[in-house]
Amino acid sequence: MPSNTNSASTTAGVALYARFALAGAIGCGVTHGVLTPVDVVKTCIQLDPVTYNKGMAGTFRQVIQAEGVGALMTGFSPTFAGYSLQGALKFGGYEFWKKALIDTVGQENAAKNRTAIYLAGAGIAEFIADIALCPLEATRIRLVSQPAFAKGLIGGLSRLVKEEGVYRGLYSGFGPIVFKQVPYTMSKFVVYEYASEMLLKGINDPQMPPLTVTAVNLTAGLIAGIVAAVVSHPADTLLSKINKARGNGSIVVRLCGLASDLGPRGLFLGLGPRILMVGFMSAFQFAIYGDLKRFFGATNGVEIH
């Protein structure tokens, strides 16, 4: 990941990865939180396409007319908390697992298999992050789909556990969230790594000023976010559907049934808003992450050369 390293950093070990995690938590928590209204609109389109069939702008108006402006911030608490946790484990974990894999195979072999290193590091980190994210995402979706379900994060979590149990209430969406988030994060990080490398080669300035580094992170993050949004969207739709209400049968059976009912077109409902949301969100995540790493003195992560 590009960073300005004019100032030598001596941070290492647990302190280094804690700073990576903190930077990731802030970047993901802030960007997901700010984009809560877009996520509400996307979820409404996915859950009730018959009612919300007027596109992104039209759905914004429908939600405001039906429930008021405040409805656009439904689920903000679980969104901010969940994606802060996920961001810490995803970005910090990616840096950790990338280094672990490079150390395992050696720098020379890592250079020959860099795509595999990027994909594996991102995949492992995201799988662990999803364990923390899933209960909060289940709560967010239930609050958006059923506004009267609870008043906030704690109330929503408590009611889900009380009425449906920990597994069915909080983790019924774990399968689709893994199928959504793991491919999303794997494609996001590998595309970001290559996009930023291409941009850096074009600039060809080893002493880039901080603003240029931020611009590189923004642009590479935007490209990565658009690709990742398309790759992961079918699973995102299934996640919204399976968390909307209770269902019968195993999670696998329910997922297969939903996919069959929706069909290819249905699985890509709400793709436009999600590309917009994820593209810009990813751009700012990488920009914030890179800037905070410099601020925290955590610019000495392991890279593949």
Buried b (16+ CB within 10 A) or exposed e, 89-100: bbbbbbbbbbbe
With a cut of 60, say whether residue 234 has pLDDT above it. yes
Residue whose tokens read 């969207």: 233
Buried b (16+ CB within 10 A) or exposed e, 177-190: bbbbbbbbbbbbbb
Closest CA to 228 of 194, 261, 183, 268: 183
The model carries a pTM of 0.81
Q: Are 264 and 206 in contact (CB under 8 A)?
A: no
Q: How far is CA 182 from CA 76, 172, 174, in A?
A: 23, 17, 11
With a cut of 90, say whether residue 302 has pLDDT above it. no
Superfamily of domain 13-296: Mitochondrial carrier domain (1.50.40.10)
List the domain boundaries for the chain: 13-296
Give per-residue pLDDT as tens, 132-157. Answer: 999 998 898 888 888 889 888 889 99
Cα–Cα distance, 240 to 197 (Å, whole number): 35
Give per-residue pLDDT as tens, 169-178. Answer: 899 888 878 8
**Which of 96-100, 144-148, 182-186, 249-253 is predicted least confidently?**
249-253
